[in-house]
Structure 1
Amino acid sequence: MRYQTTIKRDVTFEGIGLHTGIYCRVNVYPAPVDHGIVFHRPCKNASFFANVGTVTDTVFATTIGNERAKISTVEHILAVLSALSIDNVTIEVEGPEIPILDGSAIELVNLLMDAGIKKQKRKMPYIRVLKPVVFEDKNTSVTVYPYNGRKISFRLFFPNHFLGEQFFSVDINEDTFIRDIAPARTFGFLKDEEYFRQHGLAKGVSLQNAVIFSDSDVINETGLRFTNECVRHKILDSIGDFALSGFPIMGHIVADKSGHTSNIKFLNTLLSSTDCWEVVTGQVEKSAYPVFSLSYT
């Protein structure tokens, strides 16, 4: 069991929001033990924990918030914090969305690593999976199995498209995340452009922050960073979504064509299956770490 951590100094970044098209600024501040990941929108005087109980929307991005304010596209920054094992920070967001930057998480990794990670004087609890938990919905499934570590295996399938089937499996730690997952960019398809426009989505998309595919090729002149960049980015998104459990999950998660909605539904299924997992808290009987308060149904 590791100790909780925070960052050694403030981190600031800014840029356009992928879906809103609004220019946003983010400040990440160190926080004390048992603080958790807390988002704050100063213009709305609103703060809320990053947990599954604060999820308000999962259409093409994960949005969290409360009755006062919401922040969308939180999955990338949550994935980086989770993979780098950073537990206690306040994320102040000036705007409605986390900036997309280059569409990947590598810039966020570099910023947080440059700030430094500070070990704190209390152990970090984690969820240890004891029995498999399965979530299935139409053509999507997510299952977690007992495993001595954090692992994600993901299958993605694009029928009638040149991308076809992609699969990737990775044990999640700082090194593998930085090398294999963080550089993978968000992606989309030219055929969906009209749908996004009609629904007010993807207003900030460009070839500088997303990989765009036609029916037969990659539109970006720079090409792909990995031959299977799409499935690696899906793992990036999933790490961020699963971080909303409140604790690191020690288990092997196997996902088949999952997205933000099914990821959150899986989390609710897992957390309501209380006989299938336990929270390991180390030397204390009960953790003070601020997990969500939910009535599971």
Structure 2
Amino acid sequence: MTPGADLSAGDTAWVMIATALVLVMVPGLSLFYGGLVRGRSSLNTVMMSLAALGVVTVQWVVVGYSFAFDVGTPVLGGLRFAGLQGVSLAPNATYAATIPHAAFAAFQAMFAGITVALISGAVIERMRFKAWLVFALAWTTLVYDPLAHWVWGEGGWLRSSGALDFAGGTVVHVSAGTAALVLAWMLGRRRDARQVLHNVPFTMLGAGLLWFGWFGFNAGSALSANGVAANALLTTHAAAAAAMTVWMLIDLSRTGTSTAVGAATGAVVGLVAITPAAGYVTPPAALVIGA
């Protein structure tokens, strides 16, 4: 494999940095969740997020990327990229014309991994670890890959219909949220449903790492070091700040005090809300979305 002549060193460097930033979100998420559960469950909580990244990455290399981004049908990609065959160091003009195709595949692998990790919060203390690994593999193959193809893949029916999802509002957050809701309903309540916060500083640290990593998640989705990426970075920060501020004000008005967990949760809510629109809206609009 040889690099293509149209590669941009700046764009390539930015996407690789963004890939690393999204990876940081996985331990950030595990800390965020781990601080909200009982101490005896915290290690298992962290392990579920990291294990999901491992299982999903293997699946992504074998067939996941191909199912999501090969042409295939409007519903599912084909197998041309299975085993990442044909994913070279040259650009793929369909997805990113100035970075190596391999860099794009790596960036998208992080998205697949963090999406499954997000679901883990709904099954803590409810699902055995072995069952979680099986679920992670099956859900990525049967749900995430087809949905990514619909929205982002060449020939996907939502992409062909003109649907816009800048950084995964549908592909990542709607899918993970729906899966988490269904799993929570199917598995039922925990044996001990009392909320015991194991380590609030862990949750705050996790929220900070998520906020940090989200800059790569959203701004990296521009797939170029340009004005769109800069705007996405700014709107991401604005929405998170607005959501955190509003959450703290609501806490103050209701209880007379603002909690650390509330502030952390508010920031994450704002980050989720701005994800599909980060590259399309202005900073003032991002404040409204976050609030």
- TM-score, with length taken from structure 1: 0.29
- TM-score, with length taken from structure 2: 0.30
Q: Per residue, is there more strand in 1 or in 2? A: 1
Q: Per residue, is there more helix in 1 or in 2? A: 2
